[in-house]
Amino acid sequence: MERSVVVKVKKLSHFDSSFCLPAYESLQAAGADLRVSFPDKESLTLAPGEKALLPTGLSLEIPEGYEVQVRPRSGLSFKTSLMVLNSPGTIDSDYRGELKVILGNLGTNEEVIAHGERVAQIVLAPVWRAEFKVWDGELSQTERGTRGFGSTGHL
């Protein structure tokens, strides 16, 4: 069963016209790969511990009731020390600026990011808004209770 929602994409002046729009690389992929589009078409070198805000040359019009999540690509994370730092990053439906990716080098060697490299993936997700209410009574009991931060064990 194929389901789709239209997300309008605007190509900005520095979007490299030889690139495709974000694309699903397999038939059942949840995320569409996102490429970096540097205005000068040069590469960028990130030193260990350094981070950068990478341009994509794209702006989105996300339908109300949805968000776009920016996530790491597993291949990039496995093969390099580059990580999407605010993962998952949220692009709200009312944002119209350029889609950018915060990438950091968590390793001990320099990492080179080439123009056109697939640096992240984006996932369209529905948004549910919570109604927060003050509750002065007791919260319901669970087996876990208040234990957190690793209390459920390893692996």
- The DSSP result for 35-93, as a single string, is E---TT---EEE-TT-EEEEEEEEEEEPPTTEEEEEE--HHHHHHSSEEETTSSEEE-T
pLDDT at residue 1, rounded to an integer: 52
pLDDT at residue 145, rounded to an integer: 87
Q: How much of the chain exceeds pLDDT 70, in percent?
A: 95
With respect to residue 95, please indicate whether it lies within any of the assigned structural domains. yes
Q: How much of the chain exceeds pLDDT 90, in percent?
A: 85
- Contact indicator for 92, 103 with CB cutoff of 8 Å: no
Sole residue written with tokens 């968590």:
106
Average pLDDT of every residue of the chain:
93
Distance, in Å, from the CA atom of 5 to the CA atom of 98, rounded to the nearest integer, reads 20
pLDDT at residue 155, rounded to an integer: 56
With respect to residue 98, please indicate whether it lies within any of the assigned structural domains. yes
Range of the domain at 29: 8-126
With respect to residue 114, please indicate whether it lies within any of the assigned structural domains. yes
pLDDT at residue 132, rounded to an integer: 96
- Contact indicator for 114, 46 with CB cutoff of 8 Å: no
Q: Please confirm whether the linkage preceding 126 is cis (ω < 30° from 0).
A: no
Selection from 42, 31, 36, 32 nearest residue 12 by Cα: 36
Q: What is the CATH number of the domain that holds 110?
A: 2.70.40.10
Query: How many domains is the chain built from?
Result: 1
User: Quick one: pLDDT band at residue 4, thresholds 50, 70, 90?
Assistant: confident
